[in-house]
Structures are given as C-alpha cells and as structure tokens.
Homo-oligomer: A and B are copies of this chain.
Amino acid sequence: MDLTCTEEEDAFRERLRRWLGEVLPTLPAPPAADDWPGRRAYDAAWQRRLYDAGYAGLHWPEDAGGRGATPTQHLIFLEETERAGAPYVGANFVGLLHAGPTIAAEGSDAQRARWLPPILRGDEIWCQGFSEPDAGSDLAALRTTAVRDGDHYVVSGTKLWTSHAEVADWCELLVRTDPDAPRHRGISWLAMPMDAPGVTVRPLRTLAGSAEFAEMFLDEVRVPVSHRVGAENDGWRVTMVTLSFERGTAFVGEVVACRRVLGALARAARANGRWDDAVLRRGLGRLHAEFAALWRLTQWNVSEAGAARPRGGRSGIGGVPGTGGSVFKLRYSQARQELYDAAAQVLGAGALDADHEWVAGRLSSLSYTIAAGTSQIQQNIVAERILGLPKGR
C-alpha cells in the first residue's frame, strides 16, 4: 500500500497544474445554465483546449487516439481539474465516458477512425439513447425496434432521459433487432445521427427546474447498418461494457467537489452561528470522515483497475471497472444527499432559496440514488455478484 505519488506522477501533476494555472484565467465566462447551444460551444471549446494540450482521452489507449495514461494519472487529472475549478466534462460526457470507450473497445478500425477523433477534439457531441418509458431499471425491456431494410435499419420507438439531446450530433442507441430472441439477446448498439429525418426531441424538465434531459421520439429513422458497433444482437454485452464505465471513475471529480462544499458548509456555519448546534457540527464531522473514506475507496478502485490493466489491446481503457463501483455508488449517493441535507441545516430558512447553489445541489442530489442504477438495483448487484447470494425474489 503506497499513497505517495511516484516521481513521474508528481511531474505529471506539476505540469498539469502549471497548464491549468495558465489556461483557466483566459477562459470566457461560462454561459447561462439554460443556454444549451452556448453550453455546447463552451464545453466543446474546453475539450479542444485539452486536446491541443495533450490531455484529451488521457486514459484512452494510444491506438484509440488517447494518451495511454495510467489510472493514477487519470485520477490526478480529475482531481486537479476539479480543484482548479476547470470546466466540467459537460456536453462531452457521453462521448468521452460512454460512447467513445465503447467504440474503442468494440468498434471496427473504420468506426474508431470515424468517431473517436471528433470526440477527443470536441468536434462532435454524443447523447445516450438507452432508457425508455417502460425500460428503466429493467433496461433489457427496451422496445425501440430496428428493422433491417437493405443496408439500413429502420428505427422506431421512444427514448427517455437523453441528456444534451438538443445539441448532440450523435446518439448511442440501443435497439431491438430480434424481437423473438430472449430479452438480452436481441439488442444491438447503433450510432445514430441526431439530424436524421424522424428524430424529434422534447426537453424534459426535472424537479430541479433544469431541462438537460429530453424525450426522444424516433419515427422510422434510417440508420446505416455500418453504424452498428459490435455484432447484431450482441448489443447487451456491448452496453454492459459502457455502463460499467459509468459506475467507475465518473465520480472522482464530484468527491473532490463534495469535500470542498463540506469545508464551505463548516465555514458558513461558523459565520452564521449555527456551528454552535452540536447536532449539525457533529454531523459535518461525520461527513468529513465519510468523504475522506470515499476518496480512499476511489484510490483503492483506481489502484485495483491499474493492477488489472491489460498491457495492450483494445479493451484497456483503464481496465473495465468492476462491481466495486456499486459499493462506491451506494455509499456516495447517500453521502451526497446527507451533505446537502446538512447544507439545508446550515442555511436554516435560507434553505428555501431556490437560487442558492446548495439548494440546487440538494435537489439534484435526489437523482443520485436513482440515475445509472437505483440504489435498490445496486444492492441487488452487490448481494448477488459480490456476496454470491441467490438470484430471485
């Protein structure tokens, strides 16, 4: 067990810090929260900066256009960009964390060449078309159909929770290509251009008041068969590769951010006198231990992924994170909700102010035990896949 950084890692961190120190002050002011085209442009420009500086696709293998960095370097990158207050991955999220890694792992050479470079450069934005009205936790129940017509699929159905759909160029889409096969066997993974005829997007407003998700209606959309990644009807396996990324290192920056918020809560409580409330104060102390441990768990998972990392080959984007991500997500999603409940205690009646960033944080924290696998589903995963309890009931 070694928690110190190697010389190489220190040098990497130093170089990154220097670069962030130079580049961040030169960035324009971020766009308004509901200015989606503005946000796309802003996020894409930041991605281009990262690309030019050699930080795009840091942990992607070199043959996918990445930098082949170690998981620890990737962790350092996420930690330092968050600490420095760099822009979030934002609109590039699906491309960089879902679609890109999936194409890198499962795509043909032509597909990799077509789609990966624009993701890394920030030229093309992706969205995710997985969930459906009747396929949420039970993703394999998806019903969007893709019927073969010559060298095209004709796709019809409804997708839900498609983030950044309005500004995306591409959608990673799960469709049912064999309605007669067992549920998990008749699914395929397609890259669908968002400007194809028949695609209609309707923004979906969340309880937090924002509209970053959308419903997507597909009415006989023609998608070339060459846009299928992986074999026909093999989309479930391809998807599981993608989802396991979502449950991996995606939260590193957030844990760093939560620890910063925690410090700010303590200082705000001191300033407004609520620090004298021992119940609040001790609750913050407990959260301090909680988030410190979550950070250690992140380091543990990253080190484990590093150890398991294959020495080459296509699937090696930092090693596919395992079920340990479920343990992390279960505890983190709850701790995040507790953090923002503590923020409400610090604010008192001020917690009724919708314009306060901590109140917005409190509202959005509610989605953490739901999105990307509810806590109920995560507990099933931990119980069945890690503890070996029997399936069923």
Complex alpha-carbon distance, A279 and B278, angstroms: 6
A114 within 8 A of B: no
Complex alpha-carbon distance, A386 and B277, angstroms: 40
Residue of B nearest to A278 (CB): B278
Complex alpha-carbon distance, A277 and B279, angstroms: 9
A-B contact pairs, 6 of them (CB 8 A): A277-B278, A278-B278, A278-B279, A279-B279, A279-B282, A393-B393
Complex alpha-carbon distance, A179 and B277, angstroms: 63
Contact partners of A279 in chain B: CB under 8 A: 278-279, 282
What is the CB-to-nearest-CB distance from A365 to chain B, in angstroms, rounded to a whole number?
24
Contact partners of A277 in chain B: CB under 8 A: 278
Which 6 pairs of residues, A with B, have the shortest CB-CB distance? A278-B278, A393-B393, A279-B279, A278-B279, A279-B282, A277-B278
Complex alpha-carbon distance, A261 and B52, angstroms: 70
Residue of B nearest to A277 (CB): B278
What is the CB-to-nearest-CB distance from A271 to chain B, in angstroms, rounded to a whole number?
20
Q: A353-393 vs B: 1/0 string, CB under 8 Å?
A: 00000000000000000000000000000000000000001
Contact partners of A393 in chain B: CB under 8 A: 393
A277, A279, A282, A393 interface centre (most CB from chain B within 10 Å):
A279
Residue of B nearest to A276 (CB): B278
What is the CB-to-nearest-CB distance from A182 to chain B, in angstroms, rounded to a whole number?
21
Q: A258-298 vs B: 1/0 string, CB under 8 Å?
A: 00000000000000000001110010000000000000000
Complex alpha-carbon distance, A393 and B278, angstroms: 43
Complex alpha-carbon distance, A106 and B277, angstroms: 59
Complex alpha-carbon distance, A282 and B277, angstroms: 11
What is the CB-to-nearest-CB distance from A257 to chain B, in angstroms, rounded to a whole number?
28
What is the CB-to-nearest-CB distance from A240 to chain B, in angstroms, rounded to a whole number?
23
What is the CB-to-nearest-CB distance from A30 to chain B, in angstroms, rounded to a whole number?
41
Residue of B nearest to A282 (CB): B279
Complex alpha-carbon distance, A197 and B279, angstroms: 61
Contact partners of A278 in chain B: CB under 8 A: 277-279
Complex alpha-carbon distance, A393 and B392, angstroms: 7
Contact partners of A282 in chain B: CB under 8 A: 279
Complex alpha-carbon distance, A278 and B393, angstroms: 43
What is the CB-to-nearest-CB distance from A111 to chain B, in angstroms, rounded to a whole number?
41
Complex alpha-carbon distance, A278 and B278, angstroms: 6
Q: Which of A191-246 contact B (CB under 8 A)?
A: none
Complex alpha-carbon distance, A278 and B274, angstroms: 13
What is the CB-to-nearest-CB distance from A209 to chain B, in angstroms, rounded to a whole number?
32
Q: A93-128 vs B: 1/0 string, CB under 8 Å?
A: 000000000000000000000000000000000000
Complex alpha-carbon distance, A282 and B279, angstroms: 8
Complex alpha-carbon distance, A282 and B281, angstroms: 14
A277, A278, A282, A393 interface centre (most CB from chain B within 10 Å):
A278
What is the CB-to-nearest-CB distance from A188 to chain B, in angstroms, rounded to a whole number?
30
Residue of B nearest to A283 (CB): B279
What is the CB-to-nearest-CB distance from A325 to chain B, in angstroms, rounded to a whole number?
25
What is the CB-to-nearest-CB distance from A26 to chain B, in angstroms, rounded to a whole number?
48
Complex alpha-carbon distance, A393 and B393, angstroms: 4
What is the CB-to-nearest-CB distance from A281 to chain B, in angstroms, rounded to a whole number?
9
